[in-house]
A and B are shown apart, each in its own frame.
Chain A
Amino acid sequence: MSYHLIGISVLWLFLYGYLIIASIDFGAGFFAFYARLTKQDPLINRLISRYLSPVWEITNVFFVFFYIGMIGFFPDTAYYYGSALLVPGSVAIVLLAIRGSFYAFENYGSKNNIVYLFLYGASGLLIPASLSVTLALSEGGFILKQDQTVSLDYWALFTNPLSWSIVGLAIVSVLFISACFLAFYATRAEDHAALKLMRTYALFWSTPTIIIALTAFIYLGQHNERHYQNMMDLWWLLALSIAFFMIAMWLLYRGRRYGLAFVCIMLQFFCAFFAYGIGQYPYILDPYITIQSSVTSSSMGFALVVVFIGGMCLLIPSLILVFKLFLFDADYVKGKK
């Protein structure tokens, strides 16, 4: 396997990992704020902070990891996306900063401050919205290169239904994934009131998720025929995705096996996300960057792969430790430790 394939596979896997754990985090922010508004916060906010406080930095690192890996394996991406995204990227930085500081300060008062809670909840939706725009950009037609200047055509971006449907999909997926995970976490904590609430949220957000996913797919067909056709050739992945979605819905509806339901949702997104990614092959930015044209030198590729394997040997045992201590330790989850 060549370095560009290894690189893009690893990065795409990491982006998938970020998609799942960041969705849990972002959605939880929105639910925390919403619960406060509807006076249901005593029910779920303790549950949320119990899970999120130890892991938020890990979530953030997933993102930085993807980003640095992207620049490492495909340096051209830094130039094109960097030049075009100065403004939206900076806005995303500010949102991430607000969010990060919420966790830092939450134990010391910000949790009770309604302004901060609002910012926390709002950033939970705005960050996925702003980050997902990058996926729309990669379809081509929005980032333009004239002579030596790369620029972003804001008008085309904001008037295009594809970009809006991708943004919409990002937001509802976040809420869906997060609600389902928190329902599962609530069963672990044997917190029945929170479970009931989160199950309702999960069921509520499931339908919009699948509808907007289909909408985005249709608009993709209008915007980028090649990508659409490639994805149609991967129809079995899409079918699997829908099958997992149905299983998850059935389990949620019956109100049992929440862990399995969440795994099904992870698989649902895994299939769809990889169908999307493989369909985009070989482009990273249509039509300027392909993975073959932009891949770094082989010595660098080799070094990155070695570091990656070494890093994983360090990180996987540590992550298992975290999960054992916080996620699967029943006493901790229940708040006894």
Chain B
Amino acid sequence: MGIDTVLWSKLVTGMTLGFHAIFATIGVGIPLMIAIAEFIGIRKQDSHYALMAKRWARGFVISVAVGVVTGTAISLQLALVWPNFMKLAGNVIALPLFMEVFAFFFEAIFLGIYLYTWDRFKNPYIHWLLTIPIVAGAGMSAVFITTVNGFMNQPGGFTMQGGQFTAVNPVQAMLNTATFSKVFHVLSSAYLTGAALLAGIAAFTMLRKGVTGYHKKALKLMMAVVMLFGLLNTVAGDVSAKFLAEHQPEKLAAAEWHFETESGADLILLGWLNAEHQIIGALHLPKILSFLAFGNFNAKVTGLNEFPSDEQPPLLVHYFFDLMAGIGFALLGISVLYFLFALWKKRNEHNKWLLRIIALGAPLAFLGVELGWFYAELGRQPWILRGYMRVEEAATTSPSVRILFFLFLLLYIVLGMVSVLVLRRLFNNNPAETEMEKRAQHAGDKRTGKGAHA
């Protein structure tokens, strides 16, 4: 029964995090896009961009609400499902959690103001300024939460005495060795995913309803952002791999199926394992793993066999890692392709195939984020706090956690379905072009004094 409870605890938390990751990523990524669009709209005096900001903000609110709801769920579940973990580590991780609440509070306040003050300021830049606390609040939320995840991977800032953490230095715990690479990767991938989502929506709409000025502008703007953050994200991934090679070699080794410690290690792509743990059908890139891990083709990379077998992460993460990295490169590639087509005049950058690929990029980006998180979490197994506490020691002992899995599953299905329905209704019944005309008409009425709003 003990094992069973642990498994269900993992499933509940994994499910909540997997669901939350979608909305959290949108929550961090989209505000920046809204800010960029509104700024360009004011600079260029182009109402298309203002409308973009407005429509994105409207959709964003829906996902933020679901994010708040699932975020609240996960914060409560930390204590409910993992009481022993919180008892041990609550002492240390409370600070970043506390700061995250402040950051989110800050964001929520300004988001509320932003949404309800579109036409209340004479100077449009004042309204735009409201996006800064929103972007900053969302970004800092991600930073603080990511430091907690960093701490679980690289616990530090305390001494262990008699089964308890003493001499706690919470700031040092937050600035653990994993924090920098993780924060960098989380932020760059969130902005990349946000832009890929909005670009994908623009491309999808153009495929279904034809090319229009509004969607063209949205696509071009978002493709530029995809390219920028695609590049940054590649750098972040590289930094993360180098961090793992140095500080958490078993995680990298599991992802790369790198069993024996050796110099000039090959990079192994895909493939599968037979019963004797031999790799079959994989693509070997000679010495590349050493290069990626240490920037030196002949560097020595620690293999998985150096670790006791009950401290090895599951080998499944190899696929998560390869797919995640593949998606990251694919998104960057799509944006490069788009601008090549745009520059090379003969090929229309709005041709059907390119639009289809861009539209596909949106779900791929989210898949990439999910795979990345599953890699990050499974790659830490069997530890919940690497080196200090194993997952099975942390879980609740209450067998009810099994029923709760189904309760939450139902909740997420309902929430997911309702948000999709609402978003569809919100945008399908109100295409950008119609809204543009209405606004133009409204503005015209105002000028001639016929405005009928009281």
Contact = CB atoms under 8 A, between A and B. Distances in A.
Contact of B80 (A57, A72, A82, A311): A82
Nearest to A324: B113
A300 B170 contact: yes
B112 A55 contact: yes
B308 to A, nearest CB: 26
Interface in B69-102: 69-73, 75-84, 86-87, 90-92, 94-95, 97-102
Contacts of A299: 167-170
B404 A83 contact: no
Interface residues of B, number: 70
B108 A93 contact: no
Interface residues of A, number: 67
Contact of A64 (B72, B86, B113, B170): B72
Given A71-B79, A100-B65, A325-B117, A58 B105 contact: yes
A307 B100 CA distance: 11
Contacts of A318: 106, 109-110, 133
Contacts of B408: 90, 93-94
Contacts of B86: 71, 75, 78-79, 82
Contacts of A311: 99, 102, 105
A262 to B, nearest CB: 21
B75 A68 contact: yes
B8 to A, nearest CB: 11
A127 B408 CA distance: 17
B407 A90 contact: yes
A315 to B, nearest CB: 6
A314 B94 contact: no
A198 B73 CA distance: 33
A58 B84 CA distance: 30
A109 B425 CA distance: 9
A90 B81 CA distance: 10
B97 A68 contact: yes
Contact of B61 (A85, A87, A104): A104
B454 interface: yes
Contacts of A58: 105, 108-109, 112
A304 B91 CA distance: 11
B98 A104 contact: no
Given A79-B87, A105-B418, A307-B98, A97 B108 contact: no
A296 B88 CA distance: 11
Given A86-B81, A149-B397, A60 B116 contact: no
A250 B115 CA distance: 39
Contacts of B91: 75, 296-297, 300
B87 A96 contact: no
Contacts of B71: 64
A101 B105 contact: no
B68 A71 contact: no
B243 interface: no
B316 interface: no
A184 to B, nearest CB: 20
B95 A307 contact: yes
A89 B76 contact: yes
Contacts of B65: 57, 100-101, 103-105
A297 B168 contact: yes
Contacts of B72: 60, 63-64, 93, 96-97, 100
Contact of B418 (A101, A314, A319): A101
Contact of B109 (A71, A103, A319): A319
Interface in B415-444: 415, 418-419, 422, 425-426
Interface of B: 61-62, 64-66, 68-73, 75-84, 86-87, 90-92, 94-95, 97-102, 104-106, 108-113, 115-117, 120, 133, 166-171, 396-398, 400-401, 404, 407-408, 411, 415, 418-419, 422, 425-426, 454
Given A72-B90, A83-B396, 15 more contacts: A57-B112, A61-B104, A65-B101, A71-B86, A87-B398, A90-B76, A93-B77, A93-B408, A94-B408, A97-B70, A101-B69, A103-B65, A104-B62, A108-B62, A303-B171
Query: Which 9 A-B pairs give the minimum distances between C-beta atoms?
Result: A104-B65, A72-B94, A82-B79, A75-B90, A78-B86, A82-B83, A79-B87, A311-B102, A57-B108
11 contacts: A68-B97, A75-B91, A82-B86, A82-B396, A93-B73, A97-B72, A110-B418, A299-B169, A304-B94, A325-B117, A325-B120
